[in-house]
Amino acid sequence: MTEPLKRPKRKDPLKRTQQPLYPQSVRSRTAHGLTKAAAEGRFELQTCDDCSTVFYPPRDACPNCLSDRVPFRPVDDNGKLIADTTIRTSTDPYFRERTPWRVGLTKLDAGPVILSHLHGDVLEGQRVRLALKLDKGGAPVMIALPEKDTPNMADDPHLREMTCDPKFRRVLITDGRTPVGQAMAKAFSDAGANIVFVGIADPWKPFPGQDELKKIERVEIVALDVTDSESVTEQAEQNGGRIDIVINTAEHIRAGGIMQRHGVTVAREEMDVRYFGLMRLAQAFGPAMRGRGADGVNSATAFVNLLSVHALMNWPQYGAYSAAEAASLSAAQCLRAELRSGGVRVMNVFFGPLDTEWFQTVPPPKVTPAALAKAVVQALQHGLEDVFVGDIAEDIRARLAANPKALERELAG
C-alpha cells in the first residue's frame, strides 16, 4: 500500500536545491503517436489496419504482415505483470538519483509484452492496468498501475514523477476576479494545495464573489495584474520562489470579428491580457520554476494555460478573441519548450464557450467554471499536457483532425 505523502517540512535553507534532470530519450517521429496519446491521457498503441495486430514499441510497419497502415488506436489497457525487477544502478543521471527503481514486463490482453515503470502497489503475477504518461522530459513512458485504485495511490513516488498533483503544492491563480478564477481557487483548495495564491488586479474595484473567495481555505489574496509588468515582477519577487503551479486564469472575452471592431483598442487589451500577460508571467515566474523542477515533494511542476478551443481554429463570431487566444497558444507552446529542461510541464486546457456573462447569448452546451476547474485539477493529477474540456472542445478537436478546411468553413457560418 502506498505510504501517504506527508506535508513537506520547511526547506533547510543551507541545503542546495536539487537541480532538475530528466530521463534520456530518443524517439522517432512515429513514436510521437505515443506522445500525443500520453499528452491527452489516452492509452493508444499501433494497431494494424490489415491484420489487427497490436504492437509495441512503435515502428513504421506491422511486424506481422509488414503493412504500413499502422495508426495509433485506443486499446485495452489491462494485462498481467509477468516479470518484475529492480534497477539499482544506472548511467542515466536522472535514474541514478532515483534508484532503486522498479521496472517490469506486462503482457497486455491485447497482445504485446511491454516493459514499463511499476507503481509501488503492483506485484509480479498480478493483473495491472498500463498507463501512458509523460516523463519529466515530456517523453511518453508506460507505468503499470494496480488493477483497481488503491489508497493514496497518487502519492506513489514513481507515479508522482509523472504527474503534477496539486496535493501539498503551492498554486498561483493569476486572476481571481472572474468566476473561472474563483472556481479554480475552490478546486485547488479542495485538491489539497498547501497555499492557493489568488491574484487580484485593481483591488479598489469590488467584484462579485469577493467575500466567498476570501473564505476559501488556504486562499491568500495577492496583488497581481498581468497587464502590468511591474505588478507581475513584484509578485514574482515576493512569492515566485515557492510557486509550484501557475494557473493563468486572466481572460479577456469580447464578441466580434476583425473588420467590424472599429479600431484596435479592445484588440490591444485582448493581446495585453492574453499574449503579453502570458509573456510577463513566463519571464517573471518561469526561470524560478524551471530551477525548482526537482525540489522535493513540492517541486515546481506545471504552468497551466486556459485557452479557448478557438485558438486552434478561428470562430468569426468571436474572431478577434480567437486570434488573441491563438497568439496565447503559440506563446504557450514556446514556453513548454523552455520549461521542459526543468521538468516543468506546460498544460494547455482547451474549452468551448463558458457558462459566464461574456457568452450570454451563445446557446449551450457551455462549460461551467466549476467543471473547468475540476477538469484542470484532474488533468494535473493525471499529468496531461493537452486537455479538451466539454462537448464543443472535443468536437472541434475531432473535426480538426478529420478536415481542418471543413471546420474553417463551418465555423464561418
Q: Which partner in other proteins, Zn ion, none is near 202 (CB below 5 to 8 A by kind)?
A: other proteins
Residues 202-231 that bind other proteins (CB under 8 A): 202-206, 225, 227-231
Considering only CA atoms, which of 186, 175, 285, 190 is closest in space to residue 221? 175
CA 295 to chain centre: 19
Q: Which partner in Zn ion, other proteins, none is near 205 (CB below 5 to 8 A by kind)?
A: other proteins
Query: Cell numbers at residue 399, please?
Result: 473535426
Give me the least distance between CB of 290 and other proteins, in Å please. 20
User: What is the CA angle 388-354-209, rounded to 5?
Assistant: 120
62 belongs to the binding site for Zn ion (CB under 5 A): yes
260 belongs to the binding site for other proteins (CB under 8 A): no
Sequence-separated (6 or more) residues with CB below 8 Å from residue 287 = none
Query: Taking the C-alpha atoms of 143, 192, 279 and 199 in order, what is their torsion angle to the nearest 10 degrees?
Result: 170
Query: What DSSP letter does each residue of 35-77 carry, written as one string?
Result: HHHHHHT--EEEE-TTT--EESS--SS-TTT--S---EEE---
Give me the least distance between CB of 321 and other proteins, in Å please. 14
Give me the least distance between CB of 99 and other proteins, in Å please. 42
Name the burial class of residue 245, with classes exposed (0-12), middle (13-18) and buried (19+) by CB atoms within 10 angstroms of its CB. Answer: buried
Q: Which is nearer to other proteins, 2 or 178 (CB)?
A: 178
Q: Which is nearer to other proteins, 266 or 411 (CB)?
A: 266
64 belongs to the binding site for Zn ion (CB under 5 A): yes
Give me the least distance between CB of 130 and Zn ion, in Å please. 21
Sequence-separated (6 or more) residues with CB below 8 Å from residue 309 = 350, 351, 352, 388, 392, 393, 396, 397
Q: Which is nearer to Zn ion, 64 or 378 (CB)?
A: 64
Residues 231-250 that bind other proteins (CB under 8 A): 231
CA distance 174 to 328: 15
Q: Which is nearer to other proteins, 150 or 238 (CB)?
A: 238
Query: Residue 33, Cβ neighbours under 10 Å: how many?
Result: 19
Give me the least distance between CB of 229 and other proteins, in Å please. 6
Give me the least distance between CB of 65 and Zn ion, in Å please. 3
β-pairing verdict for 170-173 and 195-200: parallel
317 belongs to the binding site for other proteins (CB under 8 A): no
Residue the block writes with cell 485504485: 149
Helix, strand or coil for residue 264?
A: coil
Number of residues that bind other proteins (CB under 8 A): 16
Give me the least distance between CB of 48 and Zn ion, in Å please. 3
Give me the least distance between CB of 74 and Zn ion, in Å please. 18
Taking CB under 8 A as the binding criterion, the range among 104-112, 163-171, 201-209, 384-392 that sits at the site for other proteins is 201-209
Binding-site member from 220, 269, 338, 395 for other proteins (CB under 8 A): 269
Q: Which partner in Zn ion, other proteins, none is near 121 (CB below 5 to 8 A by kind)?
A: none
Helix, strand or coil for residue 271?
A: helix
Q: Which is nearer to other proteins, 190 or 228 (CB)?
A: 228
Query: Cell numbers at residue 56, please?
Result: 509495441
What does the binding site for other proteins look like in residue numbers (CB under 8 A)? 202-206, 225, 227-231, 254, 263, 265-266, 269
What does the binding site for Zn ion look like in residue numbers (CB under 5 A)? 48, 50-51, 53, 62, 64-65, 67
